[in-house]
Amino acid sequence: MLTLITRRKALALMGAGCAALLASRFSPAMAQDTGDQAFVRQLSEKLIAVINGPGSLAAKKQQILPLIDKNVDVDGIARFCLGRYWHTATPAQQQKFLDLFHHVLLNSITGKLGQYEGVQIGVGGSTGRGNGLTAVTTTITRPGQPTTDVQWVIGHVDGAPRISDIIGEGVSLSITQRGDYSSYLQRNGNSVDALLKAMERQAAHAS
């Protein structure tokens, strides 16, 4: 079975992190933002305006999509998750994979928003991770749930900051997903087409 951003750890991580951005109140320490901390705060404000605004969930998903595309390095995450199979895929397979990854990632981010009302987030410091990446540390508090520490890994694409990974309790979303893809492909004859068909089924089920 393919687990595309649905493994319990990864889903909790993505849900808590993205929902926190969508419904957060930031600590006063944000007055001394670094550039990457400010990026996280400013993105959250844009997302909050959509989530708390009028319209259906379907309409809000369509409004969130360009924000995700602009502020998350979705293509970079997708290529990393596919790993060595990216280089063996044809150009047509690569494009189809990117399209499906965008679709399922958006569903993962927006599918459980109602469960995160009242979420608060405190933004701590930022640390370099090498290769031009910075991790912004946040603490997420959700009513009735344990506090969760999440790091947002920020990289830069064409000079602009982009979210390139989410790490919670030492678990990397992108590394977890890469392992899931690799396991699925190995069980299915290393067939990229088999993976794409599985992603199509999952995307159709989530729509």
Mean pLDDT score of the chain = 79
Tell me: the pLDDT tens digits for 55-108?
A: 777 787 778 788 888 899 999 999 999 999 999 999 999 999 999 998 888 877
Q: To 5 degrees, how large is the angle CA 165–CA 43–CA 32?
A: 95
Tell me which residue of 5, 26, 2 sits closest to 139, measured CA to CA: 26
Tell me: the pLDDT tens digits for 2-27?
A: 555 444 444 444 444 554 444 443 33
CB 76 within 8 A of CB 164: yes
pLDDT given for residue 161 in this prediction: 93
Query: Considering the entire predicted model, what is its pTM?
Result: 0.78
CB 15 within 8 A of CB 116: yes
Q: What is the CATH topology of the domain spanning 8-206?
A: Nuclear Transport Factor 2; Chain: A, (3.10.450)
CA dist 99 to 96, 103, 104, Å?
Answer: 5, 6, 9
Cα–Cα distance between 97 and 88 in angstroms, integer? 13
Tell me: the pLDDT tens digits for 114-161?
A: 556 566 667 778 888 888 899 888 877 777 888 888 888 999 988 899
CB 124 within 8 A of CB 138: yes
Higher pLDDT, 146 or 31: 146
SS (H, E, C) 35-103: HHHHHHHHHHHHHHHHHCCCCCHHHHHHHHHHHHHHHECHHHHHHHHHCCHHHHCCHHHHHHHHHHHHH
Q: In this structure, how many other beta carbons lie within 10 angstroms of the beta carbon of residue 13? A: 22
CA dist 154 to 28, 107, 151, Å?
Answer: 21, 22, 9
